[in-house]
Amino acid sequence: QVQFVESGGGLVQPGDSLTLFCEASGFTFSDYAMSWYRQGPGKERESIAEISGGGTTTYVDSVKGRFIISRDNFKNMLYLQMNDLKPADTAVYYCNAPVRSWNTWGRGAQVTVSS
């Protein structure tokens, strides 16, 4: 079955960097575009970065220039390099395919940015 395991979250200070990891299984990873999503306190989950199977990336404006999404199709891994973190980036971060036939989500990785 489809599974996602997010890791790498933590408590950091404004301006710090952090890398998130997503282990995906149960589907042909390289066939799917993949996205990072986040859900901040009291907010709905939103997509913030997407990468195609071939590596083309898109970002929402709030993270553009600070976050980098990447993938390793051999390891079925998705990554999110987050730089210059801000308190507004505080959220639970999830990975998933933007176009999918399953309704499965991982537990997410908590990222807290606070001084």
Query: What pairs with residue 12 in β-bridges?
Result: 113
Please state, in angstroms and rounded to a whole number, the distance separating the CA atoms of residues 77 and 1: 16
Structure tokens at 67: 């976050």
Residue 112: predicted pLDDT: 98
**DSSP E strands: which ranges in 26-76?**
34-39, 46-51, 57-59, 67-72
Cα-based distances in Å from 16 to 25, 48, 56, 91, 106: 30, 19, 26, 15, 25
For strands 77-82 and 67-72, give the pairing: antiparallel
Q: What is the mean pLDDT of residues 47-65?
A: 96
Please state, in angstroms and rounded to a whole number, the distance separating the CA atoms of residues 23 and 78: 7
Each residue of 34-55: pLDDT tens digit? 999 999 999 999 999 999 998 9
**Percentage above 90 pLDDT, the chain:** 97
Mean pLDDT lowest among 8-12, 21-25, 98-102: 98-102
Residue 4: predicted pLDDT: 98
Residue 113: predicted pLDDT: 98
Q: Which of the two residues, 114 and 102, has the higher pLDDT score?
A: 114
Residue 79: predicted pLDDT: 98
Q: What is the mean pLDDT of residues 9-23?
A: 98
Residue 8: predicted pLDDT: 98
pLDDT class for 84, splitting at 50, 70, 90? very high
Please state, in angstroms and rounded to a whole number, the distance separating the CA atoms of residues 60 and 77: 21
**How big is the CA angle at 12 (ends 112 and 52), to the nearest 5 degrees?**
70
